[in-house]
Structure 1
């Protein structure tokens, strides 16, 4: 083998190893970046897309991603119906999310909005809601929203009127499994 061919062969091997090293570094950087992506970021990227969310207790909710906040996602029904508020910690699995992600903007208009924000909006709209928790479910209207719990005026029919059986209950945010407009 000539000396020139030997140097060409060594240069080729070096270039190949250098390419493998660059690819490994690139893959590692991609994995590190992906490790920073939160579920809320993926829901934001799926805004206006249909998803299926499986919750604790075997409950499944389908809808189109409408809003995403700090610790919650709001779906609107694909057909007629209301919206469904799902606390992120109660999500067991999600169908329909892509690998894309969109982080929350850091503008003043998109300050972190906790679950109380959307609950207060539903209370202001006087929406009739069905609430599910691990301990049971109820129908009614949100009467008030505190820092970590909501008050619901319930009745057997879900209408908050002067009907026997109406009562006010308190639901801690941590117990909330699903809240749906009806």
Structure 2
């Protein structure tokens, strides 16, 4: 009887040790999985949700996340207004889900900031551009590799070359 109790106790200890090892492995795999999730993947999973995007350290773009790509976020700030926010300008986001969306289709994955800005240029839409600490209003005339040309429409005749590096948001509507 004594031997059987000893063996039963040893088996219970081994089972508990195996369970602890499995739990540790699961926790490590979960941490590794979370470490591979990109902000763009979380944003894609959050499409349709209300979000707040902190841009430039002080401005907040708030509304429904309409679309997201690796380089930009599109937020509906009202029924007719949209804000295109470069991911590099987003200091912080509130309202994202914790999980990731599946990888985007090949075409969507290649849609960079320049592609979205060229669509606005084609539409000849009047936009408000927030770059660094400046607010400019005009039409996007051209989009280069790292900048856009914005022709002012408020009575001035200037055309601003705005670098993507300083771009905080482009608002329409």
Give the TM-score of the pair, scaled to structure 2: 0.93
Structure 1 residue 171 corresponds to structure 2 residue 166: no
Q: 1:48 Cα shift?
A: 1.2
CA distance in 1, matches of 2:65, 2:160: 29
1:38-94 CA-partner distances (Å, limit 9, x unpaired): 0000000001111111112300011211121222111112x3331101111111211
The answer to whether the Cα contact below 8 Å between 1:57 and 1:134 also exists between their aligned partners in 2 is: no
TM-score (norm 1): 0.89
Structure 2 alignment gaps of length 5 or more: none
Could you say what secondary structure the match of 1:166 adopts? coil
Misfit runs of 4+, over 3 Å: none
Q: Quote the Cα distance in structure 2 between the aligned partners of 1:37 and 1:111.
A: 15
- Trace 1:50-65 onto structure 2 (pairs within 5 A): 50-65=50-65
Rounded Cα–Cα distance in structure 1 between residues aligned with 2:70 and 2:22: 37
Counterpart residue number, 2:122: 124
Aligned to 1:139: 137
Matched pairs, number: 173
Instruction: Tell me how far apart the structure 1 counterparts of residues 120 and 21 of structure 2 sit (CA, whole Å).
Output: 54
Question: What residue in structure 2 maps to residue 66 of structure 1?
Answer: 66
Measure how far apart 1:147 and its partner are: 1.2
1:160 is matched with which residue? none
Q: Which residues in structure 2 correspond to 1:8-157 (within 5 Å)?
A: 8-77=8-77, 79-105=78-104, 107-156=105-154
Q: What are the ranges of 5 or more consecutive residues in structure 1 without an aligned counterpart?
A: 157-162
| Secondary structure class of the residue paired with 2:54 | strand
What do you get for the CA RMSD once the two structures are aligned? 1.5
